[in-house]
Amino acid sequence: VRSIMFTDELAGNPAKKRAHEAKARRLRAKREKEAKELRKRKELERREQEAAPATAVIANGESSAGDIVPSSSSVSVGAGANTADAKTATPTAAAAPPPEALTAAQKAAEQRKLRAEARARLSAATSIQSMIRSKMVAATAREDQRSIFDKRMSDLIALAGILKQSTKAEYVPPPATVSIMTTQFLFFACPTTIRKHHPSGELTLNSGSMVMEERDLSRWTKLVKNLLLPGVFSDNLDLDPLLPWMETTGGTARLQKVLNLCVSSVSAKQAQSKKKKAKGQSPTKSLTSDSTYSCYSAVDSFLRTILRLNTSKEMGSSVQYHGGSSRDIVYQKSRSILIQPSTPKTTSQKDQNNEPCSCDLITSLRSVLLYGSTRKNPPIPGDAGRLRENCVTNDEKERASLLLRLVVDLIASLETHGADQMTLNCLCSRFISEVMTVPLLTWKVSPSSYERLVHNPSKQGAKKVPPLVVYIHRFINLNADEVSDGRVESALNMSDVSLTSCPAPAVLCLLASLIQIGRTCEALHGMNPTVLHYKAAAEYFNFLATLINSAPLGTFSSRMSAVEWVSIGSSSTPIVLSDVVIEQASAILSDSYVRALFTCAINDEELDTKKVINTKTDKDRKHEKDLEEIGTSSASTVAAKEAMVDRNRSFWQSSKWAKKLTSLISGSGEKMMPSKPSSSSKGVGKLMNTSSISRQLANGKGPINRTVTNAVLSSESTSDTKLKDSNPKRPHHEYSVLFLLALCRAYGTIISRWGGNGKEDLVKRAHQSLDNAKSGKEYASANVEPCVTALLNVLCFSTSFVMSSWSIIQSNPRVVSDLYAVIDVNKRAAPIRTLRTHPAYKRLQHSNYGAGDGNAGAVVLLMFVTCMSHTLIVTDDVEIHDMEKPIPKHQLRRCILLLKKLLYRACCIDDVHEATKSRRVMDSSHFGLALISTSSKAMNDLYNRSSRRFLCVPKFWIEEGLLEQDLRRCKTHYDYTLLLSTPVCRICPFLISFKRRLKLFERIITTNRIDIQGSNEQRNLKPGIMVKVMRGRVLEDGLAHLNKLGRDMRQRIVVSYLSEAGARETGIDVGGLFKEFWSDLSSLAFDPNYVLFKNTEGSLMYPNPSSKLAHGSDHIVLFEFLGRILGKAMYEGITIQPQFAHLFLSFLRGDHTYLHLLTDLSTIDSQLYDNLMFLKNYDGDVSDLCLTFTVANDDFGISEVPLIANGANIDVTNANKRRYIYLVAKHHVSDRIKEQSDAFTRGLWDVIDRSWLRLFNEPELQVLISGASDGKIDVSDMKSNTRYVGGYTMLDINIKRFWSVVSSFSPKHQADLLRFVTSCERPPPLGFASMNPPFTIQRVGIMRDGDKLPSAATCFNTLKLPTYSSETVLRKKLSFAITAGAGFELT
């Protein structure tokens, strides 16, 4: 039965079995056919015998035991019978030929094959039986050896005890005894097995698994403790059992097995015994924790002794494993077995249970940390989020902690004993890439074990670099190229764990582990400045910056689950990243941790912050003087004056040879070298996204102006800083600015990736961003994450980072040099958008801690600009101008100069300059994009604040020459609108002079209006839309006829006035009547008495929050109509009377940023503003004021509105008072008028495209709407741009009288005169020079003074002035005509 069973087992190959079955079926079918033919022949023979009894039947053949036939013999018909058959057979039988019989050779082959198969089965059964018997015999022999080993071990222990009691000496077994018993233990604990060699199919002897059975663990402990340890502890080399082993090959193999068992007894869980229990025998008890820890202690002591580490406290010995070259050989051999510089070949988790445990300590440690001692645990326990540190058992922690201590101490020992640097670099790199990349590392080992990574004991209290930082330093040295390029994933190269089994990438796990361990290190966490090692901390945070740069985007995201896409073959699968690992990494953003770090990093005394910040140069004082000359003029007034100034028409600026002459006269010292024409200047007619000056720079025709950068990046304290950083007598652990730079790099990377500014390429050059160009991954967030907001709150309001970082930008030589390279294209050709945050290391040259190079200045600048912008959100104008917060005004002007140069290069020079074009195509980085975006937002914010209360003179913002030649080159509406898409117009339009932007806006509207309406000059004026209006019902008729037009308001509108009697007036509208109608309509529609608008305390208009109560639901329709009225006025070039509040103009631009809520609130409710400022600066307990998150509205009755959900039950405290102030201001400035403002802007944008208005800030937009805010007319400008026809000249006596009268008029009469002639009370924003048709005075000859009054042709802006006899008569007649208010009756 047993033989049959084994035979069946051998037939277990399915393919072979199917082949045999098919062959048997074919053979069976063939034999059945032969039998059938045989039966037919027998039947034929029987019939023949009945017919011819004389026929003889001859039987041939011999039956075989293997044939399957109906009878026991084979019968065949002879030749004679065949002949007789042929003669006597019936016709039917003769027609079917007989089948061919098997030949003797075929039958013999089949018989041989069957006999061979039978022999093979018998041989297999015999071999299996023999193997079973041998295993049973071997198992019996091993059990016998266990009994013998136990008896010998008990005798030795008893002998040692007797000897110790009698002589007080430790018993040291002879080396021969140790060798015999060790070999005996290896025989029964680690048997040799037969293993099939897969490639060749050979059977080879292979060492058994080094995982002992559970019952042998106590024996192993006794062996190590009582046999191996006494010998290796002994000073007598003759008693050391390891020395004889090194003399033979077998002994060396024995040592390797012993070391392998040492590692496996700690790293792998012991297998359960397979011995069957006899009846009535109780099951074997599992190992107790005491016996397990005793094993750990013995193994730890043995390994530490032979590796020359600190011995176990339990052994109580201080003997080190030294003693000459013999023990050196054992030490070297053991070290080479236990730890290897390169990672040994690893197996997948699937095969780990079948492979022997690795003897390498680092590999074993990684295996235990990842999969536990059973090799079956998941890398991240499923209940880790709930159990936290208790997700791993104490036994697993003890195993991992022991191995971790061994590895750390062994690496430290190698460094102490002078191992070569390459070996140390490789081992440290292995530790970082294999151990530190394990998820939840700090939860899987005891705190005391990884304390060795952060604590480096030193003598005499001197600070030493923590081992963790040393490992990082050596890892960087070995992988300098990969780390410098940001390819830290390739440097880690951990492919043994996939994201499907461990939902946390190696980079994220490494980041989390370093953060968790670093927070426990006094030399790194910054809680105590006296023990902080600044340069080591700088090295640590520089490396963290590299990891943060490579971490998944979900690391600091606010999404419920972070997803990482994994490529599996040709498809990608989303993997949800582990929450607990992300939580560990997020500890770097803890408020208290960030506050402590930057408090230690900022030392204003060492940085000389006050001296740098308070120093004023001659240029600063000149800027202040220029600002004083403006006086108290409003921003709109200054903007209107700026619109009249052309800064580019000067002869000395427009002529090339004049520029050269000017530069020679000025003695600048620069050589006027002729420049070769650039190849990029061939396409002159092609519209380029740059200005004329940027093209000159791009073609090498002019240097970068360094006056601004020299003023900003002053080096007054450079020498002091150099002395502080280079003084060799100073202790190395004292303050170093490198720590602050490293913090800026780490947290700047977080801000650039998760701050919402690093995703969109504002410049939008031809190159794709890195975020979207590679593998579809996102590298930066599109929105500001809450963690970044919390980080900025700490930096801005809990530290002095803004002031200190700006001081560093101006004084630190390294930062200054980096910023010069960012601004000057000749120093760094790569575009700003390609800047990276991770430090640049050089292989074998990274010797100083914290000295990671690469864009330190740009990183500090990004941090400063971001924090300053964040601070400005809650900073009002009083604090900026009177309290000099966040930095003094002269420093703000320096900041403006620096950011202006940066934006100018990013928008106008990068990717156009020859130096940048000649370089290889580089992808944009999230840091470079964030720097451009953040600088743009900060500059826009400062520019808008300067539009309220001047920070500097208007020319301070301007880059001369921008857009000058581009405007001259453009011809069509498409050409002009294409200029709006240039980077400088989209990102920083304030660099362009206001006059240039006004001219661009005017040309866009004019060309679009001509395309839609036609023009008189081109004689293609289109009929337009006819509107009949009664003079007493201007607003009602206008609403009825025009509000339904929508975007058709751009078409020409022809106005026909009706008198009160309903009769049509005689005037023909060629443009003048429409201007008159629109001026009347706008003055009525924006009348505050209509309750749609309300006046501020400064008589500026904004939507009335109570408009709905007055007009019901129709108020939205009315606001949309008013928006179309304003849009049509701007579209037709009509300046109207209303002056709008700053807060309302922000809505019209379409980018209300809520950055000036407090200042806007001061214009509409100064009392509430004062109360909020009192609350903001209140030093006491705000809760005593009994405020809640509600606000009272006075809309024909007091009503209380909650500012947040359940706001009536939430008290205002010191912690949340800033939020309360912000919400109250937002409610009054924005929320109450948002519905009306949105309706108004919808109507406005029906006529005026939204992108056209973004060229201007609020005061400039007001000038665009209504001209100069004070309403005064510049008579000299009007006079110099007046045309005379009909016989008048500039020297005519009547013209002189006319200008004398106009000059003597009050501003009101001057406006009435302008309205009488042009139908508009205000001149165009660009002055009378841009009026089309120009202001004209036509001569009208009269005989007597009473014949005619002055009249006007408003369609052509023409004043028909009679030739009066005196100035007195002229004054009287002109005053009567402009104040009569008649229509065409006076004509």
The answer to whether the beta carbons of residues 713 and 818 sit under 8 Å apart is: no
* pLDDT-based confidence at residue 656 (cuts at 50, 70, 90): very low
The answer to whether the beta carbons of residues 1126 and 1113 sit under 8 Å apart is: no
Q: What is the pLDDT of residues 1126-1173, one digit of tens each?
A: 888 888 888 887 888 888 888 888 777 677 788 888 888 888 988 988
Residue 795 phi/psi, 5-degree rounding, is -65, -40
Give CA separation, 924 vs 489, 554, 777, 779, 938, in Å: 20, 21, 14, 11, 21
Residue range 1267-1293: average pLDDT?
82
Task: Enter the DSSP assignment of 830.
Answer: S
Q: What is the pLDDT of residues 1047-1093, one digit of tens each?
A: 888 888 888 877 776 677 766 666 667 777 777 777 777 888 888 88
* Cα–Cα dist 1220/1237, whole Å: 24
Residue range 402-407: average pLDDT?
93
* pLDDT-based confidence at residue 899 (cuts at 50, 70, 90): very high
Burial of 1292 (0-12, 13-18, 19+ CB in 10 A): middle
Q: Evaluate the omega torsion of the peptide bond into residue 886 and state whether it is cis, within 30 degrees of 0.
A: yes
Number of other CB atoms surrounding residue 281 within 10 Å = 8
* Cα–Cα dist 1365/1344, whole Å: 8
Q: What is the pLDDT of residues 46-85, one digit of tens each?
A: 777 776 554 343 334 433 333 433 333 333 334 333 433 4
The reported pLDDT for the residue numbered 1050 is: 87
Burial of 980 (0-12, 13-18, 19+ CB in 10 A): middle
The answer to whether the beta carbons of residues 589 and 545 sit under 8 Å apart is: no
Q: What is the pLDDT of residues 827-873, one digit of tens each?
A: 888 889 888 887 777 654 455 676 666 788 999 999 999 999 999 88
Lowest pLDDT segment from 122-126, 178-182, 287-291, 503-507: 287-291
Spatial CA neighbour of 819 closest among 865, 870, 888, 886 = 865
Q: What is the pLDDT of residues 929-948, one digit of tens each?
A: 999 999 999 999 899 888 88
The three-state DSSP-derived secondary structure of 1004-1039 is HHHHHHHHHHCCCCCCCCCCCEEEEEECCCHHHHHH
The tokens 């934006």 sit on which residue?
903
* Cα–Cα dist 1077/1074, whole Å: 5
The reported pLDDT for the residue numbered 901 is: 93
What share of the chain in percent tops pLDDT 90?
A: 26
pTM over 0.75: yes
The reported pLDDT for the residue numbered 352 is: 45
Burial of 905 (0-12, 13-18, 19+ CB in 10 A): buried
Burial of 666 (0-12, 13-18, 19+ CB in 10 A): exposed
Residue range 482-493: average pLDDT?
85
Q: Which of 502, 521, 952, 1355 is catalytic?
A: 1355
Token code pair at residue 535: 């340069």
Q: Which residue has the higher pLDDT, 281 or 967?
A: 967
* Cα–Cα dist 613/889, whole Å: 10
Token code pair at residue 656: 């090339």
The answer to whether the beta carbons of residues 934 and 762 sit under 8 Å apart is: no
Strands 193-196 and 203-206: antiparallel
* Cα–Cα dist 349/375, whole Å: 8
Query: Is 867 among the residues known to form the active site?
Result: no
The tokens 């002459």 sit on which residue?
661
The reported pLDDT for the residue numbered 1053 is: 84
Burial of 1167 (0-12, 13-18, 19+ CB in 10 A): exposed
- The string of DSSP codes covering 865-878 is HHHHHHHHHT--HH
Strand partners, 572: 567
| Mean pLDDT, all residues of the chain | 79
Contacts of 934 (CB under 8 A, 6+ apart): 755, 757, 862, 865, 866, 869
* Cα–Cα dist 1275/1272, whole Å: 9
Helix, strand or coil, per DSSP, at residue 726:
helix
